[in-house]
Amino acid sequence: MSLMASQVSDAFATKTRVNADAVWNGSFLPAKAELNVLPRPRNDACGRTVLH
């Protein structure tokens, strides 16, 4: 993250370095359940793999 902030500072020739902690925190991420876009396959009652 710090590298990206440094690259932004370089690209826009800012007077001071961009502090990554000042512009980013974990609140931008979705909930953990929403990040699971490829859930593990489950078996049904007969033992067959079922994709949900």
Residue pair 10/22 in contact by the 8 Å Cβ criterion: no
Q: What is residue 15's predicted lDDT score, i.e. its pLDDT?
A: 93
Reported as a single tens digit per residue, the pLDDT across 23-51 is: 888 888 888 888 887 777 778 778 777 76
Q: Is the pTM of this model over 0.75?
A: no
* pLDDT for residue 52 is more than 70: no
User: In the structure encoding, which two tokens stand for residue 30, read together?
Assistant: 């979705």
With b meaning 16 or more CB within 10 Å and e meaning fewer, what string describes 4-42? ebeeeeeeeeeeeebeeeeeeeeeeeeeeeeeeeeeeee
